[in-house]
Structures are given as C-alpha cells and as structure tokens.
Amino acid sequence: MDTRIQHPQSAPTQAAAAKGTAGGLPAWLVDRGLIPETSPKRAFAAATFINQIGKGLFISGAALFFTRSVGLPVAQVGFALGAAALIGLAAGVPVGRLADRRGPREVFGLAVVVQALAVAGLVFVRTVPSLIAFLCVAELAVSAGTAARGPLTRALGAPNPTRYRSYLRALNNIALGCGALAAGVVVQLDTRTAYVSLILGTAVAFLLSAALTSRVPSVPTVRAPAEGGRWPALKDKPYVVLTVLDGLMSIQTQVLIFALPLWIIGHTQAPRWFVGASVAVNTALVVCLQVRVSRGVDSNAAAGRTVRRAGAAFLLATALIAAAGGAPGWVAMVVVVLGVVAHTVGELWHTAGSFELSFGLAPEHAQGQYSGLFAIGQGLSNAVGPPLLGLVCIGWGGPGWLAMGALFLAVGQVVPLVVNWSDRSRAHSPVRT
C-alpha cells in the first residue's frame, strides 16, 4: 500500500476532507484551528508535542543531573554541553542531503530514536569524557532531526507550510512549559532516583515521538538534476548570506531568557519574581498569536518584508528595556512589559518570515540539505548569543541595548535585498529553476 504524500490538495478540498474525517467534536476543533485538519498533520503535531515535552524536561533538569547527581564540576558540564552543541551542527547539511535522497520522515524517525538512546545512556555517565561522548551523539541526532523535520513540515503543511509551522511552534511552547513544570518537581525532590527518572522520561518521550512519526506518510523524493552537483546549498551564495543574517537575527531568542533576567535583577528596581512573569507574557503571546501572524507570509517577498518589520520591532523593544534601567520599581515593570510585548511581536514576525524563506529560496530536490545549512546559523546564534549579549547589553548598559537593537534593525533591512538577489539568481539558473 502506497502511503506517500501526494500532490497538495486545494484549500476547499482539504477543508472538505477535514470535515469528512474529523466529525463531531474534532470537526469543531478543526474549524477553530485548535487541531490540524488532516490525520497526517495531527500525527506529526502529536509527535512534535511529545518530543518537545522531552526537550523541556532535558533543558530544565539535565545540568542539575550532571552536577548534583553525577557530581561533575559546573565548568566541565558547561564545556561539554557547548562542545557537543557545536559538533552537532556539523551533521545538518550531510544529513539533510540524506533526507532528500531517502525521505525526511524516515531520517527524522531514525534521528529521534538515536537521540533517545543517547539520552538514556547518560544515566551511565561518571566522567567528563563519557558525558561528552553521549552528548555529542545526542546533539548530532538533534541536528539530523532538525534537517529532516523542515522538509517534512513543508510537505505536510502544503499549500501553506508557514501557517502549519506556526501552529507547531505555538504547540511546542506549551509542550516546553509542560516539560519544565515536570522538571521542577524533579529539582524539588533533588534525589538520584528523581534525576534518573527525568533522564529516562526524556528518552521515553523521544521514543514515543518516533513511534507517532511512523504514522505520518512518507514524502516522495525529488530527483536532483545531474548538473547540479552534490552540495548545491554550500554553493548558493545568496542562501549562505541569508543563513548568516538569520543567525544574527536569531540572537534575539536569547534576549528574554538570558539578557533580560540579568538586566531586571542587576540594573532595575523591579522585583525578582518579575523575571518569570516577563517570560510568561512572551510565552502566552507566542501561543496565542503565532498562527495569526503567519497569515499572508506566503511568498519570498512577503517573508522578506516581515523580517524587515521584525528588525524594527526589536529596536523598539531594546530601547524600552534600556529605559527601564534605574527606573522606580513599578515604572520599570510597565516599561519592561511593553518591551517584552514589542520583542514578542518581532519574534513572531521573524519566525514566520524565516521559515518561509528557508524553503522558498531552496530548490525542491534539496530541501533537506538547505534546511540543514539554515539550521547551522540558528545553532551558532545559541552559542554566540549569551556571551555577546552579556558583553554588550549587560556590560555596556543602556547604550549596549540600543546597539543590539540597531544590529537587528540593520539585519532586517538587508534581508529583503538578499531575497531579491536570490530570486534573480534562481531566475538565471536552469538547475535551480
């Protein structure tokens, strides 16, 4: 029986299929956009939701497991985590090419299984070298899964993959919160048994995600032109430049979780509990608005304009956060909330535009390879972001916040130019066209 995804259906056809297959309460949920309209979309949404619960568990409790349960020094754990993350980025492009040839669903499922086994192996860690070994395997699997997940999301979400990706992102924020809450219980117990349960629970979540992914239809591969070469993504100059620019813009993801808490506690008179409240505002807005913001972002030109608006929103946000420095407590709280709202609007715009460009500027036969390259820029931003924000925003104070905002604004202005450059290159390239 052929379970591969066929050509995308029209919107009326998809809506009819949704009503015909959902029925009753699911149809009501579909009509309001609370669940996807087709079974493959729902299966993959469930897989990513459970996967992100595991991720929330891991990122919220793994460091404490390594230090308090295993007994490794904090500095060595930090080095192991950073080194593994950088090594993991190397898998993106080659695994993306494998996904283009063998199918993204198959590669994604295998990557999640490998990730689950590597995470489960962490319970046997006793030394830093063994920690680095398991973490490197896990991060390589994460990078591989990211490269394969992109084209799979695009195929399932047709004819509007950005809208489907926005739905998944909103869902993922809820899942991460669930995982973090569960990890909070483990941290409160603070026992070896609790920490081991957290690690094994993460592995089980990944295995469940892989099992649900197997229910998603395979995506047929697209034959690559013989004259295109093996690594077209690395030779695509506009796309490489776009990857760098998006990596710079993606530093914004570290603003609210790294720089803002340090700024609130060390440079404002706002109460300490307000750190969690500011992040909660961001999470709520993302969950409620990500799908709505993605509407209309359905072309390269529209995506470029959206990223440009994001740069302006980030400048406004950093200016407001800078203004909170030294202000009275209630004034600082109000100004920071306004800054968080502005930053979240920019984050929503950047996410929608970035996703559309990552696929809209890539040829059909190399979606996985291009997705792996694009993920490198985002991965490097996670490594570069904290030290850069610490130096500029926290070290320089108010002027540093404005400098970061100006950087985001400049990047946003350049992205539409790169989009036009890429479109012109594709128009004159028979291979890519």
- The pTM (predicted TM-score) of the whole model is 0.77
The position carrying tokens 């595991």 is 54
Q: Backbone dihedral region of 296: left (phi > 0), alpha (psi from -120 to 50 degrees) or beta? A: left
Q: How far apart, in whole angstroms, are the C-alpha atoms of residue 353 and residue 299?
A: 9
Contact present, 218 and 103 (Cβ < 8 Å): yes
- Is residue 3 over pLDDT 50? no
pLDDT in tens, 75-113: 888 788 878 878 877 777 777 777 777 778 888 899 999
Higher pLDDT, 234 or 389: 389
- Is residue 422 over pLDDT 80? yes
Please report, rounded to a whole number, the percentage of residues in the chain having pLDDT higher than 90: 31
| Whole-number pLDDT of residue 28 | 65
Higher pLDDT, 431 or 376: 376
Higher pLDDT, 276 or 21: 276
Give the chain's mean pLDDT: 83
Contact present, 320 and 331 (Cβ < 8 Å): no
Per-residue pLDDT, averaged over 418-433, amounts to 69
Q: What Rg value do the Cα atoms of the chain yield, rounded?
A: 22
Q: What is the dihedral of CA 176, 177, 181, 182, to 10 degrees?
A: -30
| Whole-number pLDDT of residue 245 | 95
| Whole-number pLDDT of residue 169 | 83
Higher pLDDT, 19 or 259: 259
User: Model confidence at 4, in pLDDT bands (50, 70, 90)?
Assistant: very low
Q: How far apart, in whole angstroms, are the C-alpha atoms of residue 433 and residue 362?
A: 10
| Whole-number pLDDT of residue 335 | 93
Per-residue pLDDT, averaged over 227-237, amounts to 75
User: Model confidence at 431, in pLDDT bands (50, 70, 90)?
Assistant: very low
Helices (H), 255-299: 260-267, 274-294
Q: How far apart, in whole angstroms, are the C-alpha atoms of residue 346 and residue 285?
A: 12
Candidates 286, 193, 220; CA nearest to 4 is 220
- Is residue 127 over pLDDT 60? yes
pLDDT in tens, 276-295: 788 788 888 888 888 888 88
Triad 96, 35, 278: Cα angle to 5°: 80
Instruction: Give yes or no for a cis peptide into 159 (omega within 30° of 0).
Output: yes
Q: How far is CA 234 from CA 9, 195, 362, 415, in A?
A: 32, 42, 12, 19
Per-residue pLDDT, averaged over 59-69, amounts to 84
| Whole-number pLDDT of residue 35 | 78
